[in-house]
Structure 1
């Protein structure tokens, strides 16, 4: 086993040797000076006292003034830790007896100690008054202490001051040596004495050099290397080469322990950065990482002549997945979305493209090119196409789609914050435009967003203010041309803007969630009006039904059946007199959930119609899987049925298919007599449109219902 000599033992051995050597040399020197010491000591003491005091005053004033400057910021921010650090550093210097940092009133803030026992006490010693009042560096003497005070100023304001006490006794040893040397020079100016002094000086210097060299090699250099490594680690550079030591003492242990600590810190830093900059679910970059990368890219591209595009891709109706299938299914959808987006970006966006998840169902893509608009257009089109394909989640086919907003640098904005805002606005406009599409940002979009927000605010409470009302469009049976019911339509007459188109405010209600409030109000009002129609009909007349449109958002909520049942009960309306209209795309986006909900509605006796049939992913398979009582042929087919053979063939096929399944067929948008006649010839069941009757107020429709109304001849 090798003998281990500790660092402390090495240090004391070197110090002991140096002390012994220095002592022997100084004894010899002292003996040589005894003969002349008494002769010159009295003559030179006053002169040396003045020199020492002058040197001490100059050094003390400079050190105190520098300390006052360094204390400005810590005292201004009242950072006692920093004040204490500076005071302690000063107090540790040779010859400093005390350090007092005080405020403008002379109350002590710090004395350089750990517990600050004098904190808050007012200075009341003999020198305190002058020290507190001084506007510059003030030097005072008291006994063996040199007291130097300096104000701490910021601008023209006095924050406080600092007092530093220096020991006047320091340096007296040097005074003594000078006196001894002086006595010797005065007494013996001979060559032997001069040579002896030179030999002693040379011996001391040589000894000091040897000691310093040993300390430098064995202690200062390794500790300095550790200090450099610590500063590099503090600056965030964890990949530096750490010092290696084979020493078998405490310093060697310290170097090795420091190396292990550095590796551990680097490992933890990599893990923390990964967690801080990576989305936990998808493994993509998160908002923070993307923002830092975007800031860096914008700095590089400014003035470089290249363009950059941001694409904001947001899944359409993603909340429906969480509401109907649960959050686990939602996470699975997001993973599939992320994979599709990443694959598409890799395919179209180029090697410099980047993808990040900003949270929820929002993804952001960065692409660079000399023509960023063209590249962004191709990528956006491909994303819309790929993300519109159905997803298989927990054994179910789910249709979502995506809305993409695109903004360009430097055309739209030259800063990251503005670009992110513009991309979000463009994505919102893509949703307003019908979803499953993309839009480029334009400055006019800001105004559109402001108008939409204002419209949303005005829509809140519009029902209570009486601005929203129901009108009813008659529905006729084609076989006997009799009035059989009406479709309830919501209208908004704003108190300032007048009539607002349903396509505008219904979309606002859907996007903002206000439809969850307005929908039940419409249902209750329509059921109440339909119940009142019974009083204007004859006892033998066929009861009239009312059809009410239900939004996809209401269908997803899961409360639709309970709300319908409550509305029927409160109005006293028979269930068979209520028809619920749902869009085809809302139903087939999640057939399993829709089928379960529609089955509950039909069990109440309510009839379910599929609105806008033919505009979505139409097919007999959907009609077989989803329980509906009727389909409404979309007005786009009816409008061209007289002149377009394809529309006529599709309309005829829809009627035939529906009848084969026992489903009622309703044609909407009948505006010409020829359309009515052709639909009647094709054995369409029911029809509505301007030719048969415009939407009308309750009283007008009640008057129509009180007569044995028939369709126009």
Structure 2
């Protein structure tokens, strides 16, 4: 066959065979075939022709055919080798990518999944112990995890929507927990349809599942932080590096009255301060990164308000300031309250004068500056009578009027204080001149001596003034005030309505008073007070009918101290109340013990002070003591002085009436030495009148005293009162009183006050009878 006759065979038979072999080879390689063999045979017609045309053939023709076939085989082999190399290289790349993908999934912690929707087969990477059970992607070969009930409907909806072509990708976050876990964590579930049938229906879907719990927690924290800034009551402003406003919270707008839109590019500044102040503040922030202080600012409506501002710098990773955060609160109300509190703390609410607290603060400052000055302390005389008789409202009006008058007495450089109650003080600055101080004191006394008009009536008020000078009389606030008080009390004791400069002799007296007061307090604590008893005898029956309880203080070193030495200070200091309670209870207890054993049948007389009589529910207290000791009310007589009653007549009468309703006897002591008002005598619910010893001591030599004593006895009898004369010391005094029909006498003529033991002895030996040698047998007047 001629060579050109092989061409159709090569094109029509060999080349298609090669192409078919190439296709077969690719399919085999992809199917895993790695070795094969190729056998090349001539076509059948060529073999037939071989024998038919053998006579006309020659070797060259066959050689040509063989060369063509060999060349063709070599070409096919080369092509196949090159194709196989490429396939193996691609397969190697795919394997590497698969390994990298697997490593990436393992490292990320994500779970991959594949879902054959048509066959309802599900596969996953098993990186997680369980997989979400959404009711759609299910398989019996994995442990199901629980989707949060509130999230499950969203998951199903999103999954169905993607399968049906409603979204390009399935992507959703939700909460999940395992079967053996009590805590929820957030996951991100993502996937996509990767296979569809001829009708476009989804047949296969693949995706991943990621744990994003830490991201959600960070998001929650960010949202919490953002909501916190937006909802806190403090204003927050964020400034950039150029001190322009970047953002503000709602509190900023609420406090300032500005809207966020108005603050765009707002330049940080304080309108109420010079520009230099703002620049200095900025420099401080740039250098230190922090500033704190209290400022005034303007609201949008122009109102002034006060803020407490803190500004801190925000740094980047390189430590460079990028922003500034200012936080402030509106402290206007707090500042107003502080001012009110300072005013309340430093001023008197009634008179609006500076008070004692401010006096101490200001005066200590003056002392530190060692400025010469003087202190005048005023105390209104008997001001308690105003409150008791006219009421506290009227008393307050008087105090305000006094404050106004004293202000007019002060120089421009002087300061008037109300130290408390009815006590005022003037600090005279820059002068220790006696003449200047005397002038101020006299002017103050004169202006106070003018009558006050109150409730349509005139009221007279006087004052006692004590004066102390710095540094002559004291080098501290406490010392100077103490010296001025001493001088003031000295002036009051000298008759009041006068002024007195401090002297060292006054200080000595004050020290003695202080020691005595300490002694009384010690005596109350350690039981050093004793009750002594002085008999009272009936002039007519010449028998003991009563006794008076008298208090004594027995000091282990000083011996017996009598009432005249300590009772005035006890009244002044208020210790008289504790002493009175002690005497009342002890005397009632002792007398009832004598009554129980038949030694005594009379009553016990006990002195009352003005402070005791002025106590609320004093009658209830006496009733309680009687119940405790068992002493009958009619065996108790309470002695009240005229002066104590007249300090507060209305209150005193009410207390006396309450005592009388209990059956307690009341005696008016020291009659004739005080007011001796017959009108009051008629009003007082008393049972006994006592003649003071000052009318008894000179009965023998003074006609006037005899007439006065006789008049008192006559008045008392006419009012149905019993009369007791105290201080009887001689037989002649007894005779005169007996002749005047005096009912009862007591005094040293009969017996001095006796201790409890001595009185027990007296009662046991005399049985209450007057000794024969003391009896008075003179006839009595009718």
The TM-score with structure 2 as length reference comes to: 0.49
In structure 1, which of residues 341, 352, 360 is the aligned counterpart of residue 421 of structure 2?
360
Residues 51-79 of structure 1 deviation map (CA, whole Å, 9 limit, x = unaligned):
xxxxxxxxxxxxxxxxxxxxxxxxxxxxx
State the 1:548 CA deviation.
0.7
Alignment of 1:653-672 (within 5 A): 653-672=711-730
Matched, 1:312 2:378: yes
Residues 407-437 of structure 1 deviation map (CA, whole Å, 9 limit, x = unaligned):
3466534776543232123345567789888
**Partner in structure 2 of residue 333 of structure 1:** 395
Alignment of 1:114-513 (within 5 A): 114-117=311-314, 279-284=348-353, 286-287=355-356, 310-314=376-380, 316=382, 318=384, 329-339=391-401, 355-365=416-426, 370-371=434-435, 375=439, 404-408=465-469, 411-413=472-474, 418-428=479-489, 440-460=501-521, 462-463=523-524, 465-513=526-574
State the 1:510 CA deviation.
3.1
Asked if 2 retains the 8 angstrom alpha-carbon contact of 1:316 and 1:435, the reply is: no
State the 1:581 CA deviation.
0.9
**Partner in structure 1 of residue 159 of structure 2:** none
CA–CA distance in 1 between the matches of 2:341 and 2:571?
41
Asked if 1 retains the 8 angstrom alpha-carbon contact of 2:555 and 2:561, the reply is: yes
Matched, 1:635 2:693: yes
Residues 463-515 of structure 1 deviation map (CA, whole Å, 9 limit, x = unaligned):
56332111101112223332211100111112343323323333443334333
**Partner in structure 2 of residue 690 of structure 1:** 748
SS of 2:623's equivalent in the other structure is helix
Asked if 1 retains the 8 angstrom alpha-carbon contact of 2:626 and 2:633, the reply is: yes
State the 1:89 CA deviation.
1.4
Residues 608-639 of structure 1 deviation map (CA, whole Å, 9 limit, x = unaligned):
01122222222101111221111222222323
CA 1:356–1:465: 2 relative to 1, 3 Å: closer
**Partner in structure 2 of residue 517 of structure 1:** 578
**Partner in structure 1 of residue 283 of structure 2:** 89
SS of 1:557's equivalent in the other structure is coil
Asked if 1 retains the 8 angstrom alpha-carbon contact of 2:592 and 2:631, the reply is: yes
Asked if 2 retains the 8 angstrom alpha-carbon contact of 1:561 and 1:597, the reply is: yes
**Partner in structure 1 of residue 587 of structure 2:** 526
**Partner in structure 2 of residue 8 of structure 1:** none
Question: Which segment drifts farther, 575-584 or 499-508?
Answer: 499-508
CA 1:654–1:351: 2 relative to 1, 3 Å: farther
Question: Which segment drifts farther, 418-427 or 606-615?
Answer: 418-427
Higher relative contact order (CA 8 A, sep 6+): 1
The gaps in structure 2 that reach 5 residues or longer are 1-277, 291-309, 322-335, 776-782
Matched, 1:562 2:620: yes
Matched, 1:579 2:773: no
SS of 2:620's equivalent in the other structure is helix
CA 1:474–1:437: 2 relative to 1, 3 Å: farther
Residues 536-577 of structure 1 deviation map (CA, whole Å, 9 limit, x = unaligned):
657xx8x21110112211111123212221222222222211
CA 1:398–1:548: 2 relative to 1, 3 Å: farther
CA–CA distance in 2 between the matches of 1:300 and 1:454?
34
CA–CA distance in 2 between the matches of 1:346 and 1:644?
53
State the 1:599 CA deviation.
1.1
**Partner in structure 2 of residue 647 of structure 1:** 705
CA 1:440–1:639: 2 relative to 1, 3 Å: farther
SS of 2:614's equivalent in the other structure is helix
State the 1:439 CA deviation.
5.3
Query: Over aligned residues, Cα RMSD in angstroms?
Result: 5.0
Query: Which structure has the larger Rg over C-alpha atoms?
Result: 2
CA 1:597–1:505: 2 relative to 1, 3 Å: same
Alignment of 1:14-25 (within 5 A): none
CA–CA distance in 2 between the matches of 1:437 and 1:559?
37
CA 1:671–1:338: 2 relative to 1, 3 Å: farther
Alignment of 1:52-71 (within 5 A): none
State the 1:99 CA deviation.
6.0
The gaps in structure 1 that reach 5 residues or longer are 1-83, 93-97, 102-112, 126-162, 165-266
CA 1:400–1:329: 2 relative to 1, 3 Å: same
State the 1:450 CA deviation.
4.4
State the 1:579 CA deviation.
0.4
CA–CA distance in 1 between the matches of 2:691 and 2:529?
27
Looking at secondary structure, tell me which structure has more strand per residue: 2
Asked if 2 retains the 8 angstrom alpha-carbon contact of 1:666 and 1:686, the reply is: yes
CA–CA distance in 1 between the matches of 2:674 and 2:404?
28
CA–CA distance in 2 between the matches of 1:510 and 1:654?
28
Asked if 1 retains the 8 angstrom alpha-carbon contact of 2:380 and 2:461, the reply is: no
Looking at secondary structure, tell me which structure has more helix per residue: 1
CA 1:394–1:696: 2 relative to 1, 3 Å: farther
CA–CA distance in 2 between the matches of 1:701 and 1:449?
37
Matched, 1:548 2:606: yes
The TM-score with structure 1 as length reference comes to: 0.53
CA 1:492–1:371: 2 relative to 1, 3 Å: same
Residues 178-202 of structure 1 deviation map (CA, whole Å, 9 limit, x = unaligned):
xxxxxxxxxxxxxxxxxxxxxxxxx
Question: Which segment drifts farther, 476-485 or 367-376?
Answer: 367-376
Asked if 1 retains the 8 angstrom alpha-carbon contact of 2:554 and 2:560, the reply is: yes
In structure 2, which of residues 769, 775, 778 is the aligned counterpart of residue 709 of structure 1?
769
CA–CA distance in 2 between the matches of 1:362 and 1:331?
17
CA 1:462–1:452: 2 relative to 1, 3 Å: same
SS of 2:590's equivalent in the other structure is helix
CA–CA distance in 2 between the matches of 1:585 and 1:330?
22
Asked if 2 retains the 8 angstrom alpha-carbon contact of 1:384 and 1:438, the reply is: no
CA–CA distance in 2 between the matches of 1:557 and 1:664?
27
